[in-house]
Amino acid sequence: MGRLKILNHPLIEHKMAKIRDKKTGTKDFREAVSEIGLLLTYEISRDFKTVPKTVETPLMETTAYVLEKPVVIVPILRAGLGMVDGIHRIIPQAKIGHVGLYRDEETLQPHEYFAKFPAEIKESTVLVVDPMLATGGSAAACITLLKRRGVTDIRFVGIVGCPEGVKFLQKEHPDVDIYLAAMDEGLNERGYIYPGLGDCGDRLFGTK
Ligand code: PRP
Ligand code: URA
């Protein structure tokens, strides 16, 4: 079973208060989502493996350590895009893949409309990022797509999840660890997480 980690850090909690607040406007919302992405990634990357590398300082040769594997960030469009800048700020060498999925408003089933990945994705640690883990359908579909392309090292990075989404994702992909900033109470009849933060894509991009 994939591990579920809720990363509660005082700075993350402070920013969560901002994005949950319906009075927060697009600019502040976007900044806070990006910053939460950065803080989550700092915690998530603690167990990334490193390998020794010889470098020359201005004084002498020494052994330093670099990441063993490349990292690829895969945001699920659109809302996942909001976390990419923050993650990229601390892993600037990471390449970025994109998966376009939208949820049918009636059935809540995900529909794929775009997928593009960097060449080295198979050998990389892949961070699938989407702020909202609601039914879990979008995250599971994205991970299935990656596995079909031979990716084996996948972590899901979200902001708000709920028991229904976590359970579904763990059932569909028991090998994938799930990292969240908050685990909310559940899903309402329209498939929205409560208390949640509303429609994340719309709040990030000022739509609707
Ligand atoms: C939202 C959100 C997730 C998905 C989560 O996307 O950004 O991708 O729903 O729901 P699920 O866990 O039930 O699949 P949406 O389909 O609204 O598209 P958008 O990001 O373009 O607004
Ligand atoms: N997508 C969102 O943007 N918000 C939710 O609460 C659920 C899915």
Write down the catalytic residue from 28, 153, 177, 199: 199
Average pLDDT over residues 41-56: 97
Q: What is the pLDDT of residue 2?
A: 78
Mutational test site, ligand 2, from 101, 138, 193, 194, max ligand atoms within 8 Å of CB: 193
pLDDT of 15 above 90: yes
Q: What is the pLDDT of residue 192?
A: 97
Domain residue spans of the chain: 4-205
What is the residue with the minimal CA distance to atom 7 of ligand 2?
192
Q: In this structure, which ligand is nearest to the CA of 110?
A: 1
Model pLDDT for residues 53-112, shown as the tens digit of each residue: 999 999 999 999 999 999 999 999 999 999 999 999 999 999 999 999 998 989 999 999
128: confidence class by pLDDT, cuts 50, 70, 90: very high
Helix axes 26-44, 81-90, angle to 10 degrees: 50
Q: Separation of 151 CA from ligand 2 center, angstroms?
A: 27
Q: What is the pLDDT of residue 147?
A: 98
Average pLDDT over residues 126-145: 97
pLDDT of 201 above 90: yes
Within 6 A (CB) of ligand 1 lie: 76-79, 102-103, 108, 110, 130, 132-139, 165, 191, 200-201
Q: What is the pLDDT of residue 8?
A: 87
What is the residue with the minimal CA distance to atom 13 of ligand 1?
135
Model pLDDT for residues 108-127, shown as the tens digit of each residue: 999 999 999 999 999 999 99
Which letter, b or e, does each residue of 91-127 get, where b requires 16 or more Cβ atoms within 10 Å of its Cβ?
beebbbbbbbbebeeeeeebeeeebebeeebeebbbb
Q: Separation of 22 CA from ligand 1 center, angstroms?
A: 18
pLDDT of 25 above 90: yes
Model pLDDT for residues 144-181, shown as the tens digit of each residue: 999 999 999 999 999 999 999 999 999 999 999 999 99
pLDDT of 190 above 80: yes
Average pLDDT over residues 141-146: 97
Mutational test site, ligand 1, from 103, 109, 168, max ligand atoms within 8 Å of CB: 103
Q: Which CATH class is domain 4-205?
A: alpha beta
pLDDT of 1 above 80: no
User: With a threshold of 0.85, does the pTM exceed it?
Assistant: yes
- Burial class of 191 by CB neighbour count within 10 A (0 to 12, 13 to 18, 19+): middle
Q: Is the CB of 199 under 6 A from ligand 2?
A: yes
Q: At 55, which amino acid appears?
A: V
